[in-house]
């Protein structure tokens, strides 16, 4: 994973499933090549293989489970994600929180198969905790700002500085309410290595315009 970066979580929005996911990902790829920036799509698990077979971009999966391949119906082993060529995974998102022991084990299993881990944390205490698991990156997302109109960059500059300090050598990204290149620029000025966002892109009536604007912020 190259930093600074913009990570786009597609979640399971209807507007970015199936062929629509591929269209958005191709748009992301175009902007990556034009602007020379790092933007990584994180589609539904059902669309990961399609994106990987049609793009040159790294593609992450939204979640994996701490299980080995085998009799694991409905689970997504880290080895399975790595086997199809996924570059990494998002873990502990606000919509998929994990108990500490499960999260630690998942990070360890991902490391064993070479899967990049971006671990979400909702507070400074949580950042300090997950830093001890040595993930590849941490994303600070205050729950009260997720999906809202106010960006974490403008609402919590002092906390972003503190979060960067706590993460140490682990790259820190920020998310929640991020929508513009200015949000990205401010986050970078505070020490963050990029942003994690979803609705600001995937629910936009003009995602191309939003993506170009975000890329300018890097």
Which one of 141, 144, 182, 216 is the catalytic residue? 141
* SS percent in the chain: helix, strand, coil, step 5: 45, 15, 40
Query: DSSP class of residue 89?
Result: E
Residue 156 dihedral angles phi and psi, to the nearest 5°: -135, 50
CB 17 within 8 A of CB 47: yes
CB 180 within 8 A of CB 214: yes
Rg (CA), the chain: 16
- Specify whether 208 is catalytic: no
Which one of 2, 14, 68, 93 is the catalytic residue? 93
- Specify whether 33 is catalytic: no
**Which own/partner pairs from 108-112 qualify as long-range (CB within 8 Å, at least 24 positions apart)?**
108/133, 109/64, 109/66, 109/77, 109/78, 110/64, 110/78, 112/78
| Positions marked active-site | 93, 141
């Amino acid at each position: 994973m190259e930093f600074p970066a913009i990570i786009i979580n597609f979640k399971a929005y209807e507007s970015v499933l199936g062929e629509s996911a591929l269209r958005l990902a191709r748009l992301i790829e175009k902007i990556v090549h034009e602007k020379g920036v790092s933007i990584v799509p994180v589609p539904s698990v059902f669309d990961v293989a399609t994106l990987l077979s049609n793009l040159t971009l790294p593609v992450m999966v939204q979640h994996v489970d701490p299980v080995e391949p085998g009799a694991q119906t409905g689970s997504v082993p880290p080895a399975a994600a790595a086997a199809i060529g996924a570059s990494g995974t998002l873990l502990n998102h606000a919509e998929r929180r994990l108990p500490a022991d499960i999260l630690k084990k998942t990070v360890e299993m991902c490391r064993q198969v070479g899967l990049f881990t971006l671990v979400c944390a909702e507070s400074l205490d949580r950042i300090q905790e997950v830093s001890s698991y040595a993930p590849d990156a941490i994303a600070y997302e205050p729950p009260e700002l997720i999906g809202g109109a106010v960006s974490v960059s403008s609402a919590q500059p002092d906390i972003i500085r503190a979060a960067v300090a706590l993460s140490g050598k682990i790259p820190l990204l920020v998310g929640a309410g991020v929508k513009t290149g200015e949000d990205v620029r401010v986050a970078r000025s505070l020490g963050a290595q990029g942003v994690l966002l979803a609705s600001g892109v995937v629910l936009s009536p003009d995602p191309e315009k939003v993506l170009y604007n975000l890329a300018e912020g890097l």
